[in-house]
Chain A
Amino acid sequence: MLTNHDFSSLVIDTLCDRAREQGFIVTCFYCDFTAQNEQSPASVLGGILKQVVSGLKEIPKEVMQAFEDQKRAIGGRGLRLPEIVKMLQTISSSWHTFICIDALDECAPEYRVRLLGSLRDIIQKSTGAKVFLTGRPHIRDEIEKRLGGRTLSLLISPNEDDIIKYLRARLEEDTTPEAMDDSLETDVLKGIPESVSEMYVRGRIRGSLP
């Protein structure tokens, strides 16, 4: 299947390739409907902060300090959301930092509100932070409202080329290639993209695609 995750992973890989040349940090998080309870804003951004820190040669002193301080608490304790946001603001002001979060629609709505608020706080205080998000169309208004005017929205849908490349790759993996001859393959490659794009257009007109 072609999904938003595929587009996310493509963008993340592309950024990682450039990061080596241009010296910036790339972080990612994939939201997952089945893990909603564990994916609180602190947990998502904590996962992002961990990747930021692991990309640096030296542990930033703010992080060291917080780590030492928490040891004094009984049983130790993790960072709270405001502390995580502050550290991300500080670090991304010194190093360009890409924060990629996939499938925001799979994040629980009450968590998403706070996550978007935290991302807004980060980009407001830091000129080095860039945020990449994906999600279904129904959260577009929410994202544009919460992140203010610094959001570019872009519709992604597989184009005909994508569908053909995808089908070719799958046909090559076919375990019963003897059932496929050239004319059937041509029909498949021609017919399916047409019906998919028709379906897609109809779906968009009705606004009824999931």
Chain B
Amino acid sequence: MSQFFSDNINSFNISNSFTTVDQRSEILAWLSPLEPRLRHQDIRTRRVDDVGDWLLQTDQFRNWCDVTGQDEFDKAVLFCYGNPGVGKTHMR
């Protein structure tokens, strides 16, 4: 499966003979003008290291992100709910 993946999204020079680099960018821009990864970059750079790591150790997270299981009735959705800004006034 992995041979279909580019190692990074900038490796457009190995796109197939039917799409040029320009055409590929044009198609991506046509699919959406939004750049959701920019917001992600902004949030991740402000995140404090190791905070929230316990979430990654929970059974719920491990089971959900395991792609090796073949059970098609497994849990496809993980919904994490909480109150944003807990302790806001203390921690500004």
Residues of A within 8 A of B (CB): 1-15, 18, 20, 22-25, 27-30, 32, 43, 46-51, 53-59, 63-64, 67, 70, 76, 78-79, 95-96, 98, 103, 119, 123, 127-137, 139-140, 143-144, 147, 150-159, 161-163, 165-167, 169-170, 192, 195-196, 199-200, 203, 209-210
Q: How many residues of B contact A (CB 8 A)?
A: 63
Q: Could you say which residues of chain B place their CB within 8 Å of the CB of A53? A: 27-28, 31
> Do residues B82 and A131 form an inter-chain contact, with CB atoms below 8 A?
no
Distance in Å: Cβ of A63 to nearest Cβ of chain B: 7
Q: A134 is contacted by which of B14, B76, B79 (Cβ under 8 Å)?
A: B79
In the complex, the number of residue pairs spanning A and B with C-beta atoms less than 8 Å apart equals 253
Q: Could you say which residues of chain B place their CB within 8 Å of the CB of A64? A: 18-19, 27
The listed residue with most A CB atoms (<10 A of its CB), out of B9, B47, B58, B76, is: B76
Distance in Å: Cβ of A155 to nearest Cβ of chain B: 6
A52 (CB) vs chain B CBs: closest residue = B31
Distance in Å: Cβ of B10 to nearest Cβ of chain A: 10
> Do residues A151 and B86 form an inter-chain contact, with CB atoms below 8 A?
no
> Do residues A165 and B65 form an inter-chain contact, with CB atoms below 8 A?
no
Sample of 4 more A-B contacts, CB < 8 Å, known A129-B76, A152-B77: A20-B7, A30-B40, A98-B65, A192-B87
Distance in Å: Cβ of B90 to nearest Cβ of chain A: 5
Chain B 59-83: CB-based contact to A (< 8 A → 1; otherwise 0)? 0110111010000111111111111
Q: A152 is contacted by which of B34, B64, B91 (Cβ under 8 Å)?
A: B64
Q: Could you say which residues of chain A place their CB within 8 Å of the CB of B39? A: 30, 32
Q: B91 is contacted by which of A14, A49, A132, A163 (Cβ under 8 Å)?
A: A163
Q: B32 is contacted by which of A49, A59, A203 (Cβ under 8 Å)?
A: A49
> Do residues B51 and A166 form an inter-chain contact, with CB atoms below 8 A?
yes
Q: B75 is contacted by which of A151, A199, A209 (Cβ under 8 Å)?
A: A151
Q: Could you say which residues of chain B place their CB within 8 Å of the CB of A163? A: 87, 91
A95, B4: Cα distance in complex, Å: 9
Q: Contacts A9-B44, A154-B61 known; A47 to B85 CB distance under 8 Å?
A: no
